[in-house]
Amino acid sequence: MSDALTNLMDRLLDGDRRALARMITLVESRAVDIATVMAKIYPHTGKGTILGFTGPPGAGKSTMVDKVTAAYRAQGKTVGIVAIDPSSPFSGGALLGDRIRMHRHFADTGVFIRSLSTRGSFGGLSRATRDVIRLMDAAGVDIVIVETVGVGQTELDIMEVAHTTTVILVPESGDVVQTMKAGLTEIADVFVVNKGDRAGADAIMRELTQMIELNPPSGWKIPVLKTQAVKNIGVEELVEKIDAHTAYYKETGEQKRIIKMTPEKEMIELLAVRMEDGYLREKASDGALAELCGKIASGETNPYEGAKAIAENPAWLTALFRIEN
């Protein structure tokens, strides 16, 4: 590791926000040896609280995150916001950029906002999300808020990184509830029916409450709250419920219905990511492995034969997992 990178990491661990921004850029763009960097960062993590906010487009997630951020800042806590945006099919970059609704926090040194593109991730989270969360945690951020693209059958990744996940719906979200059913209760630790002054708010709250009552017995009963984020109505109660669940989870360690990300599972995922990077690198080079990659891409060799050939060739495996940073 270069002296410059070591200095950057030291500044990040001291809480330097510019160093944090620079390190996030390096990690997201893979301009550094991520495994080496994160291995040194990892021992300094685990102090922050990770909150997830998800829900269908138009539910008011960004407005709610803005209000919740203000509430935590009023408590004197620092906040990091990781906003997961859909990717441009052309550049791969985030389409929405840093949320306009959060502009009032930009001048606040106690708030750090970063948008990440999904880059084709199907779970609603950027592949770099876990690394960015840990970088913020290591930099001393008290509350890290992750806001995802939207809710759906594949919107489960948030559960693997957040201590507490809030699902935000609106009175018009009946179709979402009908489609997801029990899947929603597997995601949510707290339900919010935002824009609660609209017709149908009470009906969807009753439906959610009935759905929760069908859950297996647990020490935590998922609350269903009505809010109007724009008017800051119900936000204080939401923060209280979030804090209560986070304390409950940290005290009991009770797992959700879907198992959270374990270190072993994460290691397997990291290996898969490294292999994918290696495959794309080798495909663009010359040699026998590049030739095989071309045959797989063209259909001349099927994926099963290709995978078997690579698995049985130690030199090719070494090439796939080689680090070039």
| Per-residue pLDDT at 51 | 96
Instruction: Report yes or no on 101 lying in a domain.
Output: yes
Q: Are residues 213 and 93 in the same domain?
A: yes
| Per-residue pLDDT at 126 | 57
Q: Are residues 33 and 125 in the same domain?
A: no
| Per-residue pLDDT at 96 | 47
Instruction: Report yes or no on 115 lying in a domain.
Output: yes
Q: Are residues 7 and 116 in the same domain?
A: no
Q: Are residues 70 and 139 in the same domain?
A: yes
225: which residues sit within 8 A by CB, 6+ positions away? 190, 191, 192, 193, 234, 237, 238, 241
Tell me how crowded residue 111 is: count the other CB atoms within 10 A of its CB. Answer: 23
Q: Are residues 134 and 268 in the same domain?
A: no
What is the rounded distance in angstroms from the CA atom of residue 143 to the CA atom of residue 258? 23
What is the rounded distance in angstroms from the CA atom of residue 184 to the CA atom of residue 133? 24
Instruction: Report yes or no on 161 lying in a domain.
Output: yes
What is the rounded distance in angstroms from the CA atom of residue 87 to the CA atom of residue 90? 8
Q: Are residues 3 and 86 in the same domain?
A: no
| Per-residue pLDDT at 194 | 96
Of 218, 252, 286, which residue constitutes the final position of a domain? 252
| Per-residue pLDDT at 255 | 61
| Per-residue pLDDT at 253 | 75
Contact (Cβ atoms closer than 8 angstroms) between residue 130 and residue 124: no
Please report the DSSP string for 220-243 in residue order: -PPPEEE-BGGGTBSHHHHHHHHH
Instruction: Report yes or no on 63 lying in a domain.
Output: yes
Instruction: Report yes or no on 257 lying in a domain.
Output: no
Q: Are residues 208 and 109 in the same domain?
A: yes
Q: Are residues 307 and 284 in the same domain?
A: yes
| Per-residue pLDDT at 102 | 59
What is the rounded distance in angstroms from the CA atom of residue 280 to the CA atom of residue 100? 35
Q: Give me the residue label for tokens 């292999």.
A: 275
| Per-residue pLDDT at 151 | 54
Q: What is the CATH number for 119?
A: 3.40.50.300
Q: Are residues 58 and 100 in the same domain?
A: yes
Q: Are residues 35 and 54 in the same domain?
A: no
Within the chain, residue ranges assigned H as helices are: 3-13, 17-28, 34-41, 61-74, 129-138, 157-161, 174-180, 182-187, 201-213, 235-252, 263-283, 288-298, 303-311, 314-321
CB burial readout 145-174, b (16+ within 10 A) else e: bbbbbbbbeebbbbbbbbbbbbbbbbbbbe
Residue-number span of the structural domain to which 4 is assigned = 1-44
| Per-residue pLDDT at 9 | 94
Q: Is 49 exposed, middle or buried (0-12, 13-18, 19+ CB in 10 A)?
A: buried
Q: pTM above the 0.85 mark?
A: no
Spans in the chain with pLDDT lower than 70: 85-104, 106, 117-127, 150-156, 176, 178-183, 255-261, 324-325
| Tally of structural domains, the chain | 3
Q: Are residues 276 and 248 in the same domain?
A: no
Instruction: Report yes or no on 258 lying in a domain.
Output: no
Q: Are residues 213 and 315 in the same domain?
A: no
